């Protein structure tokens, strides 16, 4: 896998209405499926988590990613998940009930036509926090059948903070998942 070190700096404070320019620092790992092992990269990166993992998922059916989240929790890492309620209700293979059953807090987004974010934040409050994002859904199909992209961005505290603030805003609007058959 290729890692690129980014050393670009933006002289402006804002770009467009409400958008904040963040200086590009840290490293970028770029993966494209089905050729690159994006799922393996996510699992390995989750294995590096020491303090926190915040997930924002449209779909989460990958057993490998779910297992890595559970392993992080067993290591004492705080793991929290936001997901699209409609996709949970439509899908038979969601890993959300299993994660919730193991004590991982799960919230369901209901405000939007689609809560289409695909984000994992690892140790977001730390200097070496990591943002995982891209078109990649956390599913087997995203790895094996689809043309997807994934970015693993590390070493940019301002970026991870911005993503964490957005995650919290969505969580504050979401409904706590209560278990199978009771998604409201």
Of the residues 36, 54, 84, 123, only one is catalytic, namely 123
Residue 63 corresponds to which tokens in the numbers above? 């057993």
Task: Specify whether 2 is catalytic.
Answer: no
Q: Which H or E run includes 143? A: helix 140-144
Q: Which H or E run includes 19? A: strand 19-20
**Coil, helix or strand at residue 131:** strand
Task: Specify whether 123 is catalytic.
Answer: yes
Of the residues 2, 118, 170, 176, only one is catalytic, namely 118
Residue 172 corresponds to which tokens in the numbers above? 């504050």
The rounded distance, in Å, linking the Cα atoms of 2 and 24 is 17
Task: Specify whether 116 is catalytic.
Answer: yes
Q: Which H or E run includes 165? A: helix 157-173
Residue 106 corresponds to which tokens in the numbers above? 């799960």
Of the residues 116, 165, 168, 176, only one is catalytic, namely 116
Catalogue the active-site residues. Answer: 116, 118, 123
């Amino acid at each position: 896998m290729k890692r690129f070190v980014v050393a670009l700096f933006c002289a402006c404070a804002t770009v467009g209405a409400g958008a904040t320019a963040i200086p590009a620092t840290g490293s970028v790992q770029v993966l494209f499926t089905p050729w690159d092992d994006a799922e393996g990269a996510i699992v390995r990166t989750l294995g590096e988590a020491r303090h926190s993992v915040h997930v924002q998922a449209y779909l989460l059916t990958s057993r490998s990613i779910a297992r890595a989240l559970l392993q992080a929790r067993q290591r004492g890492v705080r793991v929290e998940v936001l997901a699209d309620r409609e996709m949970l209700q439509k899908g038979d293979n969601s890993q959300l009930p299993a994660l919730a059953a193991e004590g991982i807090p799960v919230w369901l987004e209901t405000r939007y036509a689609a809560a289409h974010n695909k984000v994992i934040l690892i140790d977001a409050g730390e200097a070496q926090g990591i943002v995982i994002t891209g078109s990649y859904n956390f599913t087997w199909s995203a790895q094996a059948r689809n043309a997807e992209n994934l970015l693993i961005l590390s070493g940019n505290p301002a970026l991870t903070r911005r993503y964490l603030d957005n995650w919290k805003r969505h969580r504050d609007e979401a409904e706590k998942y209560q278990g199978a058959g009771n998604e409201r």
